[in-house]
Structure 1
Amino acid sequence: MLESLLKNHPLILAECAVAERLRRLPGVELHPTLFNTPLIYGPEDARDAMTSIYLEYVETAGHAGLPLLLTAPTWRLDASRIAEAGVPASINTDAVAFLTSLRDHLPPGRVPIAVGALVGPKGDCYRPDLAPDADEAENFHTPQIRELAATPADFLLAQTLPSVDEALGLARAMADTDKPCLISFCTGTDGRVLDGTPLPEAIRRLDDALPRPPAGYFVNCTHPRFLLEAYVPGELDRLVGIQANGSSRDVTALDGAAATEADSVDTWADSMAQLHDRHQVPILGGCCGTSLGHLGALAGIAR
């Protein structure tokens, strides 16, 4: 499904923030290490709030007549974190089932919706110095990736990766499954992966090293302006998506902020439209500091 969407649709929407929006709601408490994932089991009010956020994104895409990518909340759900949290061992599979069931019970005639399964970095997504090397990353991430590959998820997405080495190990594990995969780097104000590697070089390194390269590459937890200032057309041919922060501040400065920070939605959306036009990036969505208004602004690019 993912490959078909990329082939046939020049503009595809991706979800904006979910966990961060839930964090700001009164009465909703996120898990200290698994964030919003345990909410698939309840309490009912919190689960309903999460469902409503996903459905808002579905409705926005439907009104615009645009395909949509949603991702199950499986980010950083490795075996050790699951065991320490005391949640069901099946939580990865259950999280995918939660979202695919939501999608599959929508009324007929909806726009195409692809459901992905997330994988996150082993450590701090803003600390490339703490990231594992490729071999360690492959060994660490393989169990979760194999579990997710056995679910009905349409694709796998490794997200918020601060290091090319860890991305390579993750991509090796994903290449050993039958699911299409996407690799998403966390980039800084200079447009480079946080380990200092220029984004085009990072993409080439993975493409050259893998027997089955990813379907494409993303960036997330960054601002579109940073890429616009760093690269000229033709340098980002394999970049198929961005889930951008609402703020143009350095992502490391935003980490742990007590309140949501965001630039004006119009300014943000204009930069996203420029990235879409100049670098032919088809998938546009949001990350930290984004909400329903941001997705609505992205939907307006098609009009």
Structure 2
Amino acid sequence: MSKYRKALPLLNGGVFLTDGGLETTLVFHQGVELPFFAAFPLITSEAGRAQLNAYFTPYLELASRKRVGFILDTPTWRASPDWGEKLGFSPAMIETANRLSVEFLVELRDAYAGKVEPMVINGAIGPRGDGYRVEGRMTVAEARHYHGLQMRAFARSEADMVSAVTLNYVDEAVGIVRAAQDCDMPVAISFTVETDGRLPSGEVLREAIETVDRVTGNYPQYFMINCAHPEHFEDVLEQGAWLGRIRGVRANSSTKSHAELDAATEIDIGDPVNLGARYGALRGKLRNLQVLGGCCGTDHRHLAAISDACLAA
């Protein structure tokens, strides 16, 4: 049974940390092979779970020292039918991987009970295609059907909520929200943007958020921005009620474009202190910014700098 599904604690205020760039950390820092950048197969072996446990530990220790909440994301960004098929996972095996991912996080949460409170277990959903490019664009109905498998798996688990991250066009986001509504699951929607602050589809960030809210009756619990450096989107955060709907940022460490990152053979960790300062500045524009995390290229050092800057402010 979910601990917080009916009343997410972050909606009552407070700061919540997340982890950083799971896949980039495993690949570039730990030398783990992740075909198709998929981390979810690790959950199916004892050795893989040990790697994930070692990955999450520094972040949980940081949250314990800072006395803030934590949002534990399942390693399931790629755990959907199309990506699973490429990796030899049937739909049934994909469903099992999503369930096992939640069970793994429940064990982590229990291990840190009393040290990190509250801890929200979040089912992570990624785009059907590549997060950096709009591929195989779906209708809302198609997206609702495609992402339903993961959504149902999380609904039957102890997950408290679901976050769909690195989304790059509106129709897929709306379809995911529809799937969440079908399962009565709390959901957060996170868009990625290019260096001009627009979604890879060319859609304007403000219009994307306002459209999802309008057509779904404001169903998402909140919105986030991820997989982009703050300098790519801070200038488009103009005044408006829509800014209050953004509660989370999971930025990249690098200021490079998506195309440049896609072609990179080495990790670009950027400047953790500068990234932290930019998060601190973002809190001046995003009055409800609570969920502080990282994406590609970030690790626990970046989260330490981000928490230092934001909690001091």
Letter in 2 for 1:250: S
* Alignment partner of 1:283 is 2:285: no
User: Could you tell me how far 1:43 is from its partner in structure 2?
Assistant: 5.3
Give the one of 216, 220, 234 matched to 2:222.
216
Q: Structure 1 CA distance, aligned partners of 2:211 and 2:12?
A: 27
* Alignment partner of 1:154 is 2:156: no
Q: Structure 2 CA distance, aligned partners of 1:34 and 1:263?
A: 21
Query: Hey, what does 2:109 align to over in structure 1?
Result: 103
Give the one of 56, 61, 65 matched to 2:67.
65
Aligned residue runs from structure 1 range 72-111, under 5 A: 72-87=74-89, 88-89=93-94, 90-111=96-117
Aligned residue runs from structure 1 range 175-194, under 5 A: 175-194=181-200
What SS class does the counterpart of residue 73 from structure 2 fall into?
strand
Letter in 2 for 1:196: G
* Alignment partner of 1:261 is 2:268: yes
* Alignment partner of 1:121 is 2:127: yes
Contact kept, 8 Å, 1:41 with 1:47, in 2: the verdict is yes
Give the one of 38, 48, 54 matched to 1:35.
38
Q: Structure 2 CA distance, aligned partners of 1:78 and 1:50?
A: 19
Instruction: Give the number of equivalent residue pairs.
Output: 301
Q: Structure 1 CA distance, aligned partners of 2:145 and 2:205?
A: 25
User: Could you tell me how far 1:9 is from its partner in structure 2?
Assistant: 2.6
Query: Hey, what does 1:302 align to over in structure 2?
Result: 311
Contact kept, 8 Å, 1:246 with 1:263, in 2: the verdict is yes
**Structure 1 residues 101-157: Cα deviation after superposition (integer angstroms, max 9, x where no partner):** 211232434321111001111111122253212121112111221111111011101
Q: Structure 1 unaligned segments of length 5 or more: list them.
A: none
Letter in 2 for 1:287: C
* Alignment partner of 1:11 is 2:11: no
Letter in 1 for 2:10: L
**TM, length-normalised to structure 2:** 0.89
* Alignment partner of 1:197 is 2:203: yes
User: Could you tell me how far 1:52 is from its partner in structure 2?
Assistant: 1.3
What SS class does the counterpart of residue 60 from structure 1 fall into?
helix
Give the one of 167, 171, 194 matched to 2:177.
171
Q: Structure 1 CA distance, aligned partners of 2:83 and 2:206?
A: 33
What SS class does the counterpart of residue 236 from structure 1 fall into?
helix
User: Could you tell me how far 1:20 is from its partner in structure 2?
Assistant: 1.3
Deviates more, 1:215-224 or 1:122-131: 122-131
Letter in 2 for 1:204: E
Q: Structure 1 CA distance, aligned partners of 2:98 and 2:20?
A: 21
Query: Hey, what does 1:133 align to over in structure 2?
Result: 139
**Structure 1 residues 197-244: Cα deviation after superposition (integer angstroms, max 9, x where no partner):** 111111111111114610011111011122221222435221111110
Q: Structure 2 unaligned segments of length 5 or more: list them.
A: none
Say if 1:212 and 1:238 are closer, same or farther in 2 by CA, change over 3 A: closer
